[in-house]
Amino acid sequence: MQSMNKTASIILGLGIFLGLTMLGYLLGHAAIEHKMYDRSVTVKGLSEREYPADIVIWPIQFNVAGNELVDVYQTLDAHAQAIRDHLISHGIEAADISLSAPSLTDKSAQQYGNDSAAPFRYTALRIVTVYSAKIAEVRQVMNTLSELGQKGIVFTGNNYQSQTDYLFTRLNEIKPEMIEEATLNARKVAEKFAADSDSHLGKIKRASQGQFSISARDKNNPHIKKVRVVSTIEYYLSD
């Protein structure tokens, strides 16, 4: 009876030993598999294109000076009408032209500064704004304002309000193509990395799309827009 118990104990101990050995092997193999599966590479893919702007906002700022308030306002209206007529005669649609309210400064009413020697009491400013999709036509008209300058209209263009702005509004139309291009470029980089490291490229682990940016191609061509996006993608790697 004692011999049978001893044999049973040996068999039980051997079974536990083999079970623990097999469990350790399986756990170790699973850990190695998990570690191999967790290998990854993070790459970036760029898509960059150039497009013409589709909207131009052109503020034409001019001013008038004088000592008689009525004369100043009448001259403002006359100059505004002359600018409007000039634009329309050069192909700008009347509906694309708007006029701001006058901005008047009375130097005699100013509390600060030494304006006692100013030659004119009143200075007034107005802005004629062109908002148009006909960018080529508007850019041609820009070169003709000197004709109005020769008629006595004084243009000012040294502040933020008088800066011409070009807009690109078709971003939603080009987004899918650019995202696809950025993703393909990222995959090419990842495939090259995998090949160089004797690995195989797996599925995407995670991905993030960067923000689209729109900027002028250069300071001399603000009507040509550079659109770019960078996608960041992490791929699994395997041996």
pLDDT in tens, 106-136: 888 765 555 556 788 999 999 999 999 999 9
pLDDT in tens, 68-100: 999 999 999 999 999 999 999 999 999 999 999
Phi, psi of 202, rounded to the nearest 5 degrees: -100, -155
Q: Which helix (H) or strand (E) holds 6?
A: helix 2-37
Please report, for residues 54, 60, 152, 188, 218, the alpha-carbon distance to residue 160 in angstroms, rounded to integers and kept in the order given: 21, 12, 24, 44, 19
Half-sphere exposure of 199 (CA within 13 A, CB side): 20
| Sequence-distant (≥ 6) Cβ neighbours of residue 168 within 8 angstroms | 51, 53, 54, 55, 214, 225, 227
Rounded Cα–Cα distance for residues 224 and 205 (Å): 37
Rounded Cα–Cα distance for residues 196 and 199 (Å): 8
Both tokens assigned to 136: 């080529």
Rounded Cα–Cα distance for residues 33 and 228 (Å): 39
pLDDT in tens, 162-216: 789 999 999 999 999 999 999 999 999 999 998 988 888 988 989 888 899 999 9
pTM: 0.74
Collapsing DSSP states into helix, strand and coil, what is residue 187? Answer: helix
Q: Which helix (H) or strand (E) holds 24?
A: helix 2-37
Query: Percentage of residues in the chain with pLDDT exceeding 70?
Result: 79
Residue 177 has what pLDDT? Answer: 95
